[in-house]
Amino acid sequence: MNWIANYVRPRINSIFSRRDTPENLWQKCDDCGTMLFHRELSDNLNVCTSCGHHMQISPRKRFEALFDGGVFAEIKVPQPVVDPLHFRDQKKYPERMRAAQRATGEKDSMLIATGEMGRTPIVAAAQDFSFMGGSMGMYVGNAIVAAAQEAVKLKRPLILFSASGGARMQEGILSLMQMPRTTVAVQMLKEAGLPYIVVLTHPTTGGVTASYAMLGDVQIAEPNALICFAGPRVIEQTIREKLPEGFQRAEYLLDHGMLDRVIDRNSLRDELITITRILLGLPPAVRGDLPPPTPGPAAVAGDATAKPDDDKSAMAKTSEKSAE
């Protein structure tokens, strides 16, 4: 309308709306509806303190909880061609990407890093459901291939946390081609004799479940995670009957022999340390909240097989965002 309404007022509003405190100090549990104080929720890794419901957690936050002292070095992911199909549905694909990038502060829906977990050197990959439904496109494919290559190079296990609605439709057939691509990445690990452990988190569906997320040496899931190929809605439409309670949830899959374990997020790190150290033939881990590894011989003292040279690269960089 006029100068004041279009220019001055938004500016003034933006000055006053800048606050140091987070906008939502309280978050409602998706499941039981309890109002949870953000700090308490965050300390509990986004698991409801009242009912134990596991809510989404960003890859960065997950890594901060996973790696010793929250320290990890991000592995660079080769940037694929952006919008190869010039895809347009109701919005253009690059617009959707920019919106997701602004909302999450991440490049795409997967973060890969290396570091130590209970003094066990690992490579980890985590998918971000808040970024376009964690959908698998060329970037995710590149990330998994890069993570596998890094793991082979450093002779470390790969631990992957999946969370995805499936293939990214905006990349059409090229997203479908990430199924064989990521399968090749898993084969690289297997042929190098390195453990590949998958932690399926809510939700993991479609082409992601039908490729790298189901090919782990050990398959773990977080409680009540939806894990499936076809979603419950599609199945109900196809067979025209109500599905049983808990269908396609982690515990249901465990009952049907599709998983090794269902583990609470807060116990996950300890279990992963135990499993990887056994698979790698390392002595039992030192428990507890370990400080970040310090470069030098002290850091690798408890670790008979790790090469000091390999470890230094893992300690090069500290995570930029802190837990709070």
Partner 1 sequence: MTQYLDFEKPLAVIEGKAEELRMLARSNEGMNVADEAAALDAKAKTLLDNLYKNLTPWRKCQVARHPERPHCGAYIDRLFTDFTPLAGDRNFADDLAVMGGLARFNGQPVMVIGHEKGSDTKSRIERNFGMSRPEGYRKAVRLLNLAGRFKLPVITLVDTPGAYPGKGAEERGQSEAIARSTEACLQIQVPLISIIIGEGGSGGAVAFASADRVAMLEHSIYSVITPEGCASILWKDAEKMREAAEAMRLTAQDLKKLGVIDQIIPEPRGGAHRGPETAIDAVGQTIADMLEELRNEDGATLVKQRRQKFLDMGSKGLTA
DSSP, residue by residue, 153-196? HHT--EEEEEEESSB-GGGHHHHHTHHHHHHHHHHHHHHTT--E
CB of 226 vs partner 1, minimal distance in Å: 11
- Hey, what amino acid is at 10? P
Identify which of residues 63 and 161 has a Cβ nearer to partner 1 in the complex: 161
Q: Quick one: DSSP state of residue 90?
A: S
CB of 228 vs partner 1, minimal distance in Å: 6
Identify which of residues 213 and 306 has a Cβ nearer to partner 1 in the complex: 213
Q: Which residues bind partner 1 (CB under 8 A)?
A: 78, 80-82, 84-85, 87-90, 138, 141, 145, 167, 169-177, 179-181, 183-184, 186-187, 206-207, 209-215, 227-230, 234-235, 238-239, 241, 243, 247-248, 256-258
Identify which of residues 27 and 209 has a Cβ nearer to partner 1 in the complex: 209
51 belongs to an annotated ligand binding site: yes
228 belongs to an annotated ligand binding site: no
CB of 104 vs partner 1, minimal distance in Å: 20
- Note whether 193 and 152 are within 8 A (CB): no
Structure tokens at 12: 């003034």
Cβ neighbours for 224, distance < 8 A, ≥ 6 positions apart: 53, 54, 202, 249, 250, 251
Identify which of residues 143 and 280 has a Cβ nearer to partner 1 in the complex: 143
- Tell me the residue ranges of DSSP E strands in the chain: 26-28, 35-37, 72-74, 110-117, 120-127, 158-164, 196-204, 218-221, 261-262
Structure tokens at 253: 């899959």
* Among 269, 272, 288, residue whose Cα is nearest residue 280: 272
CB of 66 vs partner 1, minimal distance in Å: 25
Pairing outcome for strands 120-127 and 110-117: antiparallel
Q: How far apart are CA 81 and CA 79, in angstroms?
A: 7
CB of 201 vs partner 1, minimal distance in Å: 15
- Note whether 195 and 218 are within 8 A (CB): yes
Q: At residue 120, what are phi and psi to the nearest 5 degrees?
A: -105, 115
Q: How far apart are CA 206 and CA 230, in angstroms?
A: 6
Identify which of residues 46 and 175 has a Cβ nearer to partner 1 in the complex: 175
- What does each C-alpha distance from 256 to 1, 198, 207, 261 come to in angstroms? 63, 18, 20, 12
Identify which of residues 125 and 280 has a Cβ nearer to partner 1 in the complex: 125
CB of 61 vs partner 1, minimal distance in Å: 27
Identify which of residues 2 and 238 has a Cβ nearer to partner 1 in the complex: 238
CB of 139 vs partner 1, minimal distance in Å: 10
Binding site membership: which residues?
A: 29, 32, 48, 51
